[in-house]
């Protein structure tokens, strides 16, 4: 049941701010609809080779960006502004 609760927490983008005790998951259901406040989550629980796998899906609006996203966007913008920018090394080696 824990993987299902964790999947719901992540889909809600709340992590442990959503108390796992507040998430009620029906026992023995592979697919469930879980309602928390005004949001419905589709929860799918699977077992494969002794591992429990849970996926929670809910409508969302984009994703939560992190500081690295801004740095990557700025880097891409700068790379695109320099026409002859390329990846690699311009040094040559003289092998004797």
* pLDDT tens figures, 25-78: 888 888 999 998 888 999 999 989 999 899 999 987 767 777 888 898 898 898
Q: Which pLDDT belongs to residue 79?
A: 86
Provide the residue range defining the domain that includes 56. Answer: 1-82
- 56: Cα separation from own chain's centroid: 11
pTM over 0.75: no
Asked if the structure places residue 55 within a domain, the reply is: yes
Alpha-carbon separation of residue 11 from 22, 26, 56, 88 (angstroms): 15, 18, 6, 39
Say how many domains are in the chain. 1
Asked if the structure places residue 54 within a domain, the reply is: yes
Residue 96 above 70 pLDDT?
A: no
Q: Which pLDDT belongs to residue 9?
A: 92
Asked if the structure places residue 73 within a domain, the reply is: yes
Asked if the structure places residue 13 within a domain, the reply is: yes
Asked if the structure places residue 93 within a domain, the reply is: no
CA–CA distance, 41 with 57 (Å, rounded to integer):
6
Asked if the structure places residue 38 within a domain, the reply is: yes
Asked if the structure places residue 77 within a domain, the reply is: yes
pLDDT digits (tens, 9 = 90+) for 43-52: 999 989 999 8
Asked if the structure places residue 95 within a domain, the reply is: no
């Amino acid at each position: 049941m824990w993987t299902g609760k964790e999947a719901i927490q992540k889909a809600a983008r709340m992590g442990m701010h959503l108390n796992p005790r507040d998430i009620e998951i029906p026992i023995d259901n592979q697919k469930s609809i879980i309602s928390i406040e005004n949001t419905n989550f589709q929860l799918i629980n699977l077992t494969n080779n002794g591992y429990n796998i849970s996926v929670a899906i809910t409508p969302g609006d984009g994703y939560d960006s992190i500081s690295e996203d801004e740095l990557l966007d700025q880097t891409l913008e700068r790379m695109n502004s320099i026409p002859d920018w390329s990846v690699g090394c311009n040094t040559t080696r003289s092998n004797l």
